[in-house]
Amino acid sequence: MTDNSGSGPEERQPSAKSRRVNIGVTTAIAVILVALVITLIVLFFVVTPYVVSGESMMPTLQDGDHIMVRKVGFTIERGDIILFDRPNAEYPPVKRVIAVAGDTVMFNGETWVVNGEALEEDYLLQTVYESDYVSPFTCDSTEIYEMITNGFTLGEGELFVLGDNRNNSYDSHNYGAILSDWVIGKVVNVY
């Protein structure tokens, strides 16, 4: 009979150097994974990249421009550019906010008037509105046409948005105010 209790080949113990290398590799992998998780959290919950589709925001944004949209911790003010999820839209539109809740909006045939003052829109190329820019034929309903030409006040949680390329933008002048609940985020960077 043979006694195997302790006799035989010795088990190899990793050297101190080998253990340090293993700890270093494990730490590096953990740091990379944590960085990846933080990046994904930021991208999905704080900011998100988006590619502009269409020419409705020219000259400010071009078709194919890449933008970063902040999804949390922002307020919406007149002049901000937002990304929103409009029901039945092919893709989330990007538009400029020209009026917020409580503002009175109207189109006088030549310019947009908010709270009795013509908008100063130096971000636009010189725009000469087409004769049917605001008409019963370009608005989604006669009610919207009458509201826009007579003036109306935005209710709580409503925004009025327009594309910077006014003659080639499907926006609030066609479909009326949007709900602030539809806003995905505020454009914070073009890259």
Q: Which residue(s) pair with 183 in the sheet?
A: 84
Show me where the domains of the chain are located: 46-190
Give the model's pLDDT for residue 10. Answer: 63
Query: Which is the catalytic residue, given 7, 56, 169, 172?
Result: 56
CATH topology of domain 46-190: Umud Fragment, subunit A (2.10.109)
Q: Residues of 13-45 as b/e, b for ≥16 C-beta within 10 angstroms?
A: eeeeeeeeeeeeeeeeeeeeeeeeeeeeeeeee
Is the omega angle on the peptide bond into residue 59 within 30 degrees of 0, that is, cis?
A: yes
Query: Which is the catalytic residue, given 18, 53, 71, 95?
Result: 95
Q: Which residue(s) pair with 84 in the sheet?
A: 183
* pLDDT of the chain, 191 residues: tens digit per residue: 555 555 555 667 777 777 777 888 899 999 999 999 998 888 788 999 999 999 999 999 999 999 999 999 999 999 999 999 998 889 999 999 999 999 999 999 889 999 999 999 888 877 777 778 888 888 999 999 999 999 999 999 999 999 999 989 999 999 999 999 999 999 999 99
Give the model's pLDDT for residue 68. Answer: 96
Contact 166, 119 (CB under 8 A): no
Q: Is 5 annotated in the active site?
A: no
Q: Is 56 annotated in the active site?
A: yes
Give the model's pLDDT for residue 181. Answer: 97
Give the model's pLDDT for residue 45. Answer: 84
Give the model's pLDDT for residue 13. Answer: 76
Tokens (6 digits) for 19: 């253990």
